[in-house]
Structure 1
Amino acid sequence: MTADEPHEISGDASLLIVDDDKPFLTRLARAMEGRGFDVDTAESVEEAVVKARARPPAYAVVDMRLGDGNGLDVVAAIRDGRDDARTVILTGYGNIATAVTAVKLGAIDYLSKPADADDIFAALTRTTGERAAPPENPMSADRVRWEHIQRVYEMCERNVSETARRLNMHRRTLQRILAKRAPR
């Protein structure tokens, strides 16, 4: 079976999706229900840990950074309740250290945002040893840079001066970048 072929959900189809981006959470939940999962959602670490302890899911999709903490705490809680759970971490702030920690805690994959429902479904249902196909249309370097700037800008609560300081960039340069449309 290749990464492009449709996959099947085997056995228990319970899926916990944890993300503090409500529109994304709603869209992903709908998409996963359409693919046969029994979906439950949570918008915080606290809510997700309570749900994971009450009913450990067979599958989980967990955002790394949540408003009240780190998604790795959710991964650990899921693993404590069910060691065969298949968990995928989503993040816009990927780095090697957190990816390694996520895998050590039991995550089976680590996807960077924006990830679509097909990518997430493939990661959840991929068999052991099966490799993911390289992306058909990866983001351009300009798009990756723009996405990073946007994330830092949001983290700084849309404060241009603070964002420019953290990015080690001149404030006016940042203002020009923010005024432009996103590159493809």
Structure 2
Amino acid sequence: MKNAIINTSIVTGLFSMTAFAADIPWPEHPRPDFQRSPWINLNGQWEFDFDPQDAGEKEQWFAPGRHAFSKKITVPFPWESRLSGIGDKDYKGVAWYSREITLPDGEGWKGKDAWLIVGACDWEAKVWVNGKPAVEHVGGYLPFEVNLSQFGKPGEKVTVVIRAKDVTDDQQPTGKQVHWYTRTS
């Protein structure tokens, strides 16, 4: 079976799908050399909340209807950036992203799986789809993916929730410009 890709570049310290590319920041494929048709860009508005007490997992923020997210963030921008709509340069810790998406349907998607590809999430990420664990990832500089087709049928809505933990551990690799620019999650 051929696989298709739902792609989003997420840089966190990580989602109203729209038909108009002008409404989506960075609408082009993040890796043109890897682009395969069809694909859907999930950059744009996601529901968002900081979790300074790291209570979200215990309170099951990932479960449908368990948490009312209070903020919106524009992905792919990190929460430190004003372009994200958050612009908080001081917060370090856990944050949550949530977005309802419709699994792709139609002729171009027939017989293909829909994959969510997260371009980067600094440093730890856990992903749930419809309240079920989907994938865990550690490493801020590497992409990771999850097959969304196992959580619903084409044309059905699914809710993707991502828990991102931006650790401040001295053992975590940092870029060469870490002291020159505003840090981003």
**What TM-score results when the alignment is normalised by the length of structure 1?**
0.33
Give the number of the structure whose alpha-carbon radius of gyration is greater: 1
**What TM-score results when the alignment is normalised by the length of structure 2?**
0.33
